Amino acid sequence: MLPLATLAYMVFEAQWLRLHHLRLESPGLPVALAGLRILHISDLHAGVPWPNEKAIARLLPAALAAVPDLVLFTGDMTDNQKALEPYLEMLSRIKAPLGKYAVLGNHDHGLRKSALHEFTFGLLGRKISRDANLSDDEIAATVARNRHLLGLADITLLNNECVSIRARDVPLQICGIDELTYGLADLEATRKQVDRQKPLRILLSHSPDIISHLDEGEFQLVLAGHTHGGQICIPHPWRGRVLLSSSGSEFADGLYRRPGVTMHVSRGVGTTLVPLRLLSRPEITLLELQPGQGGKPPA
């Protein structure tokens, strides 16, 4: 009975979306930006059948309850390249006065490994190197298609690009890079657009590994996804937990700090490979910015 009960719970957890609220204290943040609300959404994997559809159905009420100033998506909106259209109306109903911005993930490009491959490397706690094997024309076509579709939901795609906006009369910059894991990110091209005079610079990346490629002070905030928090996490007496994910456990989920930068990694909304979660509840995260240091749930 225990295996069946565990399986039933894993199906349930995969649908059990939460709105996670974090107060994120950022050194040097202008006082005028205190209380700025950023909603971080990642890894919808639209197109994966139930229970993903159940989790995505809970996304809109949770996003509306967050009342964000800015909404940022960090990739894998779809599990294949044709599944986004049915969700555009729902995504368009998520509103934010400062706009909605997104980057692409590997699944948005149609890039993925077999379930056995992912499972084996995750069990060993290893990352895998990958090659996109896509032509420039294929990449450009995917970017153009996603830019058009996301635009229908008032979401701006940032593909190795930066945009400058003003929040409470303070200039800030949002940059987004293409998929790092498969070698599609052009960090140097993105770097050339960075304006270090902006008091708040945010980088969107599907892969959290991007933090290891950044210079100190280049961005104050990095948002990433991809890991699903491991998606299926098994308690382990020596390693704490085993994450059955080829992304490894270094940046599984939550907040990570390097000199001059804080990164938030989302567990994401959907699932991939198997429609199950264990000890990694799906989430969208409301980041409330405050001057200072550290990150914690609000009182």
The answer to the question of residue 222 being in a domain is yes
Which residues, other chains included, contact 189 with Cβ-Cβ below 8 Å and sequence gap of 6+?
160
Domain-embedded: residue 119: no
Question: Which residues, including other chains, have CB under 8 Å from residue 8's CB and lie 6 or more apart?
Answer: none
Q: Please indicate, yes or no, if residue 123 is contained in any of the structural domains.
A: no
Long-range Cβ contact pairs of 152-156 (< 8 A, separation 24 or more): 152/88, 152/92, 153/88, 153/89, 153/91, 153/92, 153/100, 154/92, 154/99, 154/100, 155/71, 155/73, 155/91, 155/100, 155/101, 155/102, 156/99, 156/100, 156/101, 156/102
Is the pTM for the entire model greater than 0.85?
yes
Residue type, 157: L
pLDDT at 40: 99
User: Is 122 a member of any domain?
Assistant: no
Sheet holding 18-26, edge to edge: 155-157, 100-103, 70-74, 37-41, 283-291, 18-26, 295-296
Q: Is residue 128 part of a domain?
A: no
Whether residue 106 is contained in a domain is answered as yes
| CATH code of the domain in which 241 resides | 3.60.21.10
Number of independent structural domains in the chain: 1
Query: Contact at 8 Å (CB) between 266 and 43?
Result: yes
Instruction: Give Cα 98 distance to the centre of its chain.
Output: 19
Reading the block at residue 187, the tokens are 């960090």
Separation CA 55–CA 282 (nearest Å):
8
Average confidence (pLDDT) per 10 residues, the chain, 299 residues = 92 96 93 98 91 91 98 94 89 98 94 51 46 82 96 98 98 97 94 97 97 94 95 73 59 92 97 92 98 61
Range of the domain at 47: 2-72+80-110+135-292
Instruction: For residue 125, tell me if it sits in a domain.
Output: no
